[in-house]
A and B are shown apart, each in its own frame.
Chain A
């Protein structure tokens, strides 16, 4: 174990030096080490009071060793040179017991990297007391409007590095700040509204404005909810709702594992139309509008990588081992040597449109305005991207372009590929939403309007 200095990230040069030392005596034909040293401070609150304030110092290391075409991996949290050497030996033990991998052509070699993004000092040094004061301010603002706040406010700083015996030697330092805010009102018609965002620096996270947005929605929902019968309705989906859909679309469609096992909707459909023309989806770890990241879990450089272009399916993403098995190239999305999914796009962007949110809602004759979803699941029929989920925290019935009433939460069941074929408007502005799997993953997305979204049930609240 290595001692830490409070408020300082582990220097990248120190991490790389330790990797070099451990790799010099690595067993096997090839070896790879990926490490990170992270500090994560999470504050959670309910009813405008902090109930969880935690600070974690977490290290992680993954070793992979190739021995006569056999691969083994091991992970741990001791980043000392001795600890890493032990990890390499453990990985070699696993490799020695495994049969050779067919088609594996070895670890990846160096690739171009996007320029580094400096970690943000303000985010890195934010003290618990400063954080508590910022939250108290928004709690007071909410109270003045008759609402209470629930949610979380997290800051994270991380230094990471990957090196292998084929010449990869990369490092980065990063910060991110993210918040989830729910404004809630009390009796006689309890209601909730939601806003969330993540950014690479605290100064890019408009905490008070987001709190205002959440409270606005809660206040707008402070009326008896209207029960809408199941059926097809036009919807305006906010970025948080789109982001949740994209997480599942990634897992069932673009992940290396889904493509390899044949369950992805992209299997046999690369180059074919899978959604409407107005939908373009890409992954870009180099774009500072999201949470930038220079390289993947194998040290392969990030770049803009198009998944769906104007409705045409382009490609899934691949780590080196899956790419070799399938005769593809690694795409810079490997999750690491011990991941089950192999590779996953974690810096998603939806190309923006030109229609304002006000116009999307204002020109809707009858339909729903939806802030976020709850508990999506995309395993119903992955080939059709058939998913289900519930509305939550700010869902409204719209008539003649105006909010008429909040709704009783509804269940939807819909092929997302078909739904994305009926998009008839996207906003020009986008918001970055932290992805469920964390680790610096974010989706940067506009709001969108979809015609005839299928609702299949109503909750009984």
Chain B
């Protein structure tokens, strides 16, 4: 609906990552973080990346966001090459990172402000979203008066309201306690199924990935590359009850097993490095 020219041919592809590699060079040490990563997010698809910690997933986000240049490969967004360009994505960080001097409403409009949307229009839109998300009472409150879960909701709205169609979610629930986390998962599921934005989601949590995603990429430990791709077979709209489904448990077990193997490899590799 906004400034994204979408060619009808590949309109179904929101994000196309082709063959991205990245090695960090520090003094004489070379640290390969990403190894020929290719993955796709279709328009309106929820894609998760699951992998051991320290596998360079955040580096991948920095490359998509244009903060870091890849050594090799390209990033295409709605059939437009955006490799190394900033300002094409919407982002929900690990910590809410709300600005404490801004009210909740002013925090929500931050991404619109940066994109140059007139303030009045941005405020109106924010008010509607806050209303829909059940946060209308907190419009004029300051972030530090809200609980961690509420702050993360605001951070999510800030991403959702943004004009950039593709959303990058970088472990947005990792700092929350288990109860708040499952609460937030349900909330995210509801609000996402209503809006169907294209999402690339990073998480450590296999159950979370299975519950929310259409497609899951399992990443190897450093250097990261996709070692397994899974299309989650559950229909939408999903209820939280699917975690009791035998099929769900089977997939969870399978992914957990693969991930444990990868983590083990990573640790062996770490030990080897330590010996050298």
Bind each other: no
Q: Which residues of A contact B (CB under 8 A)?
A: none
Q: Which residues of B contact A (CB under 8 A)?
A: none
